[in-house]
């Protein structure tokens, strides 16, 4: 069985999508439609912009979404998923690719999400850090201890065994990193992000996005979508919608999501979009299992 997976923020790079734009008329038309919907030429930033321009949340999220969805569309009949999933932002790409969400609605929601998150980041400074080489339970315990002392820090992204990203206020994340190093973490790396994604500090963005999501029509996807909030397969449009709303302040349970796909019979994972980050994570999660193919398109 084949699973198509879609990356999130951080996978962007200058030049992303340019080859698709220049070689596929269908892709070019969709890119131009996106420029029209967004009200600015995001393609100019994607193809020629600086790294600093591209990493602005209001640009990054629609850019990664566009590259991912258009890559899937350009595959034509080769895009035949038995299941789909996406990492954080990538869940929106997966929903559009699987037919649960119209492309234009998906782009508008992603742009609304990006703007709401940018606003939340500016209102309350936050950060994230990757913790390498510790059991999830140890990271969770330290985050709970720091939070109990008045800070805000949570386990945000369960990326793969031995790699968990924490998120919260700058001070609390710094304190948690110090304690996690003392607890045996190989590394505790601050991430170059503008805020505390997938933490309680994103509540204002969640409230803002909830209204937009509730006003958008969702359909049953053509195949199960595995969602971040619980790592499980879903096909009910109303449940999918509620999980998408919860996602902004909830942990991204990517490890559990991939494990669920493997348990459901996935034997081939295809990363659809910029970068190769998900391929590396999936290779670690599926280590020890035979005949598992992990590739890009």
Instruction: Find the catalytic residue in 167, 198, 234, 260.
Output: 198
Is-catalytic flag, 198?
yes
Is-catalytic flag, 234?
no
- Closest-CA residue to 254 (of 238, 231, 276): 231
Instruction: Find the catalytic residue in 68, 71, 87, 88.
Output: 88
Pairing of strands 83-86, 2-6: parallel
Residue 260: CB atoms within 10 Å: 20
Q: How many whole angstroms separate alpha carbon 202 and alpha carbon 117?
A: 7
Q: Yes or no: say if 12 and 274 are a contact pair by the CB < 8 Å rule.
A: yes
> In the chain, what are the helix, strand and coil shares in percent, each to the nearest 5?
50, 15, 35
- Closest-CA residue to 159 (of 183, 130, 190, 120): 130
- Closest-CA residue to 177 (of 166, 186, 185, 188): 188
| Host H or E run for residue 25 | helix 25-38
| Host H or E run for residue 84 | strand 83-86
Q: Yes or no: say if 259 and 226 are a contact pair by the CB < 8 Å rule.
A: no
**Nearest-10 Cα torsion for 227, 231, 233, 234:** -40
Residue 77: CB atoms within 10 Å: 5
Active site residues: 88, 198
């Amino acid at each position: 069985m084949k699973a198509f997976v879609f990356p999130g923020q951080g996978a962007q790079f200058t030049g992303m999508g340019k080859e698709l734009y220049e070689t596929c008329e269908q892709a070019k038309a969709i890119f131009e439609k996106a420029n029209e919907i967004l009200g600015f030429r995001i393609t100019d930033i994607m193809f020629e912009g600086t790294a600093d321009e591209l990493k602005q949340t209001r640009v990054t999220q629609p850019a990664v979404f566009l590259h991912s969805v258009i890559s899937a569309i350009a595959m034509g009949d080769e895009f035949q998923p038995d299941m789909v999933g996406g990492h954080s932002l990538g869940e929106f790409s997966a929903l559009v690719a699987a037919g649960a969400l119209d492309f234009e609605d998906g782009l508008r929601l992603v742009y609304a999400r990006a703007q709401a998150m940018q606003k939340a980041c500016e209102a309350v400074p936050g950060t994230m850090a990757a913790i390498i080489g510790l059991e999830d339970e140890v990271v969770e315990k330290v985050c709970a201890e720091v939070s109990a002392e008045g800070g805000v820090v949570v386990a945000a992204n369960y990326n793969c065994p031995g790699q968990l990203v924490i998120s919260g206020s700058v001070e609390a994340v710094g304190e948690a990193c110090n304690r996690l190093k003392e607890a045996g973490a190989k590394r505790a790396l601050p991430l170059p992000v503008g805020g505390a994604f997938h933490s309680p500090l994103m509540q204002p963005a969640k409230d803002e996005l909830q209204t937009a999501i509730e006003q958008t029509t969702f359909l049953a996807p053509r195949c199960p979508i595995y969602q971040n909030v619980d790592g499980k397969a879903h096909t009910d449009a109303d449940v999918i919608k509620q999980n998408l709303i919860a996602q902004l302040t909830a942990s991204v349970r990517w490890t559990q999501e991939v494990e669920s796909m493997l348990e459901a019979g996935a034997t081939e994972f295809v990363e659809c979009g910029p970068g190769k980050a998900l391929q590396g994570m999936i290779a670690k999660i599926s280590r020890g299992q035979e005949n598992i193919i992990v590739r890009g398109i």
